[in-house]
Amino acid sequence: MSWFLDNFDYVRELFVRHAWISVLSTLIGFAFALPVGWFANEHPRLRGASVFIVAILYTIPSIAMFILLPGLLGTPILSVSNVVVALAIYAAAVMVRSVTDAFGSVSPAVLDAASAAGFSRAQRVFRVELPLAGPVLLAGLRVVSVSTVSMLSVASLIGVSNLGSLFTDGFRRDFLTEIVVGIVAIVVLAVALDLLINLVGRLLMPWASAQQTPRARISLARGSRA
Amino acid sequence: MIEYRSIGKTFADGTEAVGDFSLVLPSRTTTVFVGSSGCGKTTLLRMVNRMVDPSKGQVLVDDVDIATRNKVELRRSIGYVMQHAGLLPHRKVIDNVATVLRLNGVDKKEARDRSYAVLETVGLDSSLATKYPSQLSGGQQQRVGVARGLVSDPNILLMDEPFGAVDPIVREELQAELLRLQRDLDKTIVFVTHDIDEAFLLGDQVVILKKGGEVAQVGSPADILAAPADDFVRSFVGIDKGSRTLHVEQRDGVDVVVDGTGKATGVLEAR
């Protein structure tokens, strides 16, 4: 505990760094996965292919990816951008699948009704499909944000400092306290991000939680049975 | 006025939904397409707002071939009410109703005011306006669907089995409500159902369809009952079963109306 207090500023610096690298990577991955997943859902024949390619990407070991990318991108070996790009690729790889499922989960009857009401193609995509895919998109984002936070710690092995540096350092010095502090900090960050995404989702999609009320379930059940 | 001129529709998979169909639907009346599933009734309805384009022939609205009109604008000018209401689950009731107005560029304030007014017209309490569709009963959702179809005051209202998914008591309420609305609003309504009783109740003109959009008979409910075109119609409207062939029997000096199965259905009053 005293080690933690003595090194509080250092741990805080790593925490903030770890947070922004993982958030940025997740967001870039999401921004990439969103159109690809939408497109894959629109064209069912491409669905299998896209999921396959993306699965192959995911099998590349992260340490190999961290080492290969500087050569491919022409960036310095210690640059943070290598790590951000690598994590964004993994994030996108996982999310393409869930984005495709998210758009696939939107009821065709609702889309048909929207067209009949006079939504143009683009209006329908942005004002009906995207918001209705929201809950499943959010679920995918939550999974990826946690896995990105944990995967980032591997990058400390190639000299890009983050909370994982506390493991490598603690391991080298055979100093358990530092390792434990690192683990706790990573868990705290992952949980905090998860809560944050959940909160943003509730604010953006109040209708999704409205649907969970018991009364709504009863009326839904009644509607579908009649 | 809506006019079908030698319409045919074959879908991409080769199914012929409509063979050759021609009909005039007079303005400010209700025309009901009635038939079993696969008779092409929904396909015919959806041709009016170009949700389906015919493979051959033309559909004219007020003497204009709608194939020449922009699909999206055409749809915004026509009310559409579907089975299960088809409401947007992520928009509040009031925003669902206001959808078409907002798409037509009506400003937010006016759209809200008009939407509240039309909710009242269809008999919904304004306290429901800020709820989400999933928080409403099936019957209430269907009323919202009707309100959405009416809000922009379109000349034409398309209704695709709108009351098919609600329980019989609510259905009767909604049917009565539609008759009352139509007395006040005088829309050109195209209504699709598989229920002949509903067709006779709501339709000024009833179109009985066989498979592939083939017309078995067109006419007012009274015309069809008075002179059914063939055995198909006789059986479809239920004359064979006896429930529509009524006769009068005397009971203690009162004229009691009895149907063909011997069931008493009412009393006859002098007008």
User: How does residue A211 score in pLDDT terms, banded at 50, 70 and 90?
Assistant: low
The C-alpha atoms of residue B173 and residue A169 are separated, in whole angstroms, by: 75
Strand pairing partners for B78? B156
State pLDDT tens for residues A122-167: 999 999 999 999 999 999 999 999 999 999 988 888 878 889 888 8
Residues in chain A: 226
Query: How far is B77 from A176, CA to CA, in rounded Å?
Result: 72
Cα–Cα dist A95/A90, whole Å? 9
For residue B118, report the phi and psi dihedrals to the nearest 5 degrees: -75, -30
Q: Tell me if B90 and A207 make a contact (CB, 8 A cut-off).
A: yes
Residue of A nearest to B132 (CA): A207
Closest CA–CA distance from residue B267 to any residue of chain A (Å) = 33
Nearest CB to B100: which of A118, A134, A211? A118
Token digits of residue A40: 């894959």
Q: What is the crossing angle of helices A80-104 and A44-59, to 10°?
A: 150
CB of B104 closer than 8 Å to CB of B154: no
- Decide if B76 and A216 are in contact by the 8 Å CB cutoff: no
Domain boundaries, chain A: 2-225
- B86 close to A (CB below 8 A): yes
Chain B: closest CA distance from residue A116 (Å): 6
Where would I find the beta strands (DSSP E) of B37-127?
56-61, 64-65, 78-82
Structure tokens at B65: 């071939």
The domain made up of A2-225 has a fold known as MetI-like fold (1.10.3720)
Probe site for chain A from B87, B90, B151, B156 (most A CB atoms < 10 A): B90
Beta-carbon contacts of residue A68 (< 8 Å; ≥ 6 apart): none
Give which of B104, B99, B3 is closest to B48, Cα–Cα.
B3
Helix and strand numbers (H, E) in chain B are 9, 13
d(CA B92, CA B119): 13
| Chain A environment of B51 (Cβ under 8 Å) | 112, 115-116
Domain ranges (residues) in chain B: 2-241, 242-271
A209 touches chain B (CB under 8 A): no
Percent helix, percent strand, percent coil in chain A, to nearest 5 = 85, 0, 15
Query: pLDDT digit of tens for each residue in chain B (271 aa)?
Result: 999 999 999 999 988 899 999 999 999 999 999 999 889 999 999 999 999 999 999 999 999 999 999 999 999 999 999 988 789 999 999 999 999 999 999 999 999 999 999 999 888 999 999 999 999 998 999 999 999 999 999 999 999 999 988 889 989 998 999 999 999 999 999 999 999 999 999 999 999 999 888 999 999 999 999 999 999 999 999 887 777 888 898 888 889 998 888 888 888 887 7
- In the CATH hierarchy, which fold is given to the domain comprising B2-241? Rossmann fold (3.40.50)
pLDDT of A222: 40
